[in-house]
Structure 1
Amino acid sequence: MKALIALASTIALMAMPALAQDMRSTRATLSGNGVSGTVTVSETASGMAHITIDVRGVPAGAHGFHIHEKGVCDADEGFKSAGGHLAGGMNHGVEDSNGPHAGDLPNLHAGEDGIVQVEYFTDGFSLDPDASPTISGPDGAAVILHAGADDYASQPSGDAGDRLACGVLYPPQ
C-alpha cells in the first residue's frame, strides 16, 4: 500500500508542471513619463487573475491603476489610444452600486523612492479569449497608471487624472 501511495504521489508531482503550463499568462512592459517596469497577469487554478506589478520611477503618492479596453499605447496622444476602462457592462468604481468596471483595480502607492511592488487577485475579467469580459481579445488590453488617485466613484474613470504610463497585455499564446 505504501508503494502505491508513493507511486500516486510521484505521478501527481510529475503532472504538476504540465498543469502549470496550461495556465494562461501575459506580461506588459509599462512605460511613459520616466516610469518603467512590468505588469504580469496570470490565470490561477481557481479562475481568478493574479496580477503582479513591479515598476520604478513612479511619483510619490497614490495612483489610479486600470485595465483598459484596447491594447494600444500611443504616448504621443497621452495613451488615449488605450480607450476606456475594460467595463464589462458595469459603472466605474466600488462606490457605485452598479460598479466596479471589470478593469478597476485598487490604487497603487509609491514611496519617495518611486518603487511600486504589489500583487492583486481579481475575478473581474478573464484570460480566456472566449469569456466576457476578457483581456485576451485579438488586440489584447492595456494597463494604465494614472497621475492621480482613483476616487472609486467619479464617472467614467475615477477622476484619476492624466495617463502617466501604459503597457500592452498581449493575448497569451
Structure 2
Amino acid sequence: MKWRNISWVWLAGGMVLALTGCDTQPTAILASTAHDPSMNVQPVTSDIVNSKGKKIGTATFTQLAKGVQIDVSASGLKKGLHGIHIHEMGKCEAPDFKTAGGHFNPTSREHGFNNPNGEHAGDLANLVVGSHGKGEVQFVNTSVTLRKGEPNSLLKDGGTSLVIHTDPDDMHTNPAGNSGDRIGCAVIQ
C-alpha cells in the first residue's frame, strides 16, 4: 500500500466512525486493505549469526506492494562499509557460510548496480558500520518478494539467506563485488 493511500484509509475509517459509531471502524479499514495481497504475507525476522554461531543482530523482511523492505541491525563488526547480499540457499553453516551459495539471481544477471549486465536480485547497497561496531540499515528491494511460488521469492523451497561480508561491495565486479569473506549470516525461511 502506498503511503499516500494510508491517509485515505484512515480518513475513510474516521468518517465511518464519526457517522456510524466505533463498532464499524475496523470493518471499514479491513475492507479498504483487503485488495492488497501484500497484507496477507507475514514479515519474517531472522537472527544474524557470526562465524562462531553467536547472534550479532537481526534482519526483518516485510512484503510491500512492490518489493520487500529489509531492516538490518548488527553489532560486533569492524567500522566501515560491508557488502551485504541475499544468497540463494537458506543455510548458514559456520564458520565461512559457503553453504549459503551464491547471490540470489533468478534472472541470471551479473553482479552490481553499476554493471551494465546487472544486477542480481540479491544485490543490496553496503551496510555502514560506525566506530562503535554497530550498523543499521533499511533497504527496499523491488526485485524480490515474500510471496511463495513466485520465481523471485525469498521463501522458495529451502529458503534463502542474508550474508554480511568483511569488505565493501564495489557494485560491479562478478560474482560478489570483491566484498571479501562472509562474516554474518541469517536464514530467510
Give me the TM-score of the superposition, normalised by structure 1: 0.86
2:111 maps to what in 1?
92
Identity rate, percent: 31
User: Which of 81, 84, 94 is the equivalent residue of 1:62?
Assistant: 81
Match among 155, 162, 172 for residue 143 of structure 1: 162
How far apart, in 1, do the equivalents of 2:75 and 2:101 lie?
24
Q: List gaps (5 residues or longer) in structure 2.
A: 1-14
Larger radius of gyration: 2
Matching residue within 17, 35, 41 for 1:23: 41
The residue that corresponds to 1:6 in the other structure is 19
For residues 82-105 of structure 1, give each alpha carbon's deviation from its aligned partner in whole angstroms, at most 9, with x where no partner exists: 000001221100111121100000
User: Are 1:40 and 2:82 an aligned pair?
Assistant: no
The CA RMSD over aligned residues, in Å, is 2.5
Q: Which residue of 2 aligns with 1:165?
A: 184
Counterpart Cα distance in 1 of 2:184 and 2:56: 8
For 1:137 and 1:107, the matched residues in 2 are separated by: 25
**Gap regions ≥5 residues in structure 1:** none
Contact 1:35 1:56 in 2 (8 A): no
Deviation, structure 1 residue 148: 0.1
Aligned mate of 1:106, from 101, 125, 130: 125
Indicate conservation of the 8 Å contact 1:92/1:104, yes or no. yes
Q: Letter of the 2:75 partner, please give it.
A: R
Relative to total residues, which structure has the larger strand share, 1 or 2?
Answer: 1
Q: Residues 6 and 115 of structure 1: is their aligned pair in 2 closer, same or farther, counting only changes over 3 Å?
A: farther
Q: Is the 8 A contact 1:91 1:101 kept in 2?
A: yes
Report how far residue 24 of structure 1 moved.
3.0
Work out the CA distance in 1 between the residues paired with 2:132 and 2:151.
38
Distance between the aligned counterparts of 1:4 and 1:120, measured in 2? Answer: 36
* CA distance in 1 between partners of 2:16 and 2:145 (Å): 41
**CA displacement, residues 46-94 of structure 1 (integer Å, 9 cap, x when unaligned):** 2320110111111100000000000001104x10000000012211001
Greater relative CO, 1 or 2 (CA 8 Å, sep 6+): 1
Provide the C-alpha distance between the structure 2 equivalents of 1:111 and 1:17, rounded to a whole number of angstroms. 39
The letter of the residue matching 2:87 is H
Partner of 2:136: 117
CA contact (8 A) 1:63 1:109 kept: yes
SS at match of 2:70: strand
| TM-score, scaled relative to structure 2 | 0.80
Number of residue equivalences:
167
- Secondary structure of the residue aligned to 2:83 is strand
